[in-house]
A and B are shown apart, each in its own frame.
Chain A
């Protein structure tokens, strides 16, 4: 398996623009998680899905953030409008049902908002 795939790997955009981050989980994994990593706040869970359904979005910082999972092999995290404080590395992770919690992380998307 290719592992969790994220695109783009790097994104530079101007404040106010819409940003869409993409994730393809490992085939057969029922859970998908979106994280944000910054030096100040570490790894923060933004939202997670189970069988394509959003379960807990309490970590989404503002209404500017939205996430979708239209099918088992694709998820998006959208920021509209983007702000400089959104600059971070965004990770997608997936895991199968029945495990104790091991999550498989993608390589991340480094977002810079100028």
Chain B
């Protein structure tokens, strides 16, 4: 299984952009890049996903390197509510579509 590598923690100031990196150098051509986040004492929630092209939604943007060996989740204006653990996950289009969670990046947002 392809693995992802993320920094353990990052800090940001409120209302500033945040760039959360993820390395996935062994990604295969059919692997999707998913991002989930987990707020304190809650279940994970879906943030965004992509395959090759950059993606935007109401929560965030996903920038995918041309060789797909890395990606960056971009929060355009961090709020205190964005303080969470962010997980970068590769998924496969198999029957199970299981998610394999690593340690993630704990994002701390300072007021």
Our verdict on whether A and B bind, yes or no, reads no
B interface vs A, CB < 8 Å?
A: none
A interface vs B, CB < 8 Å?
A: none
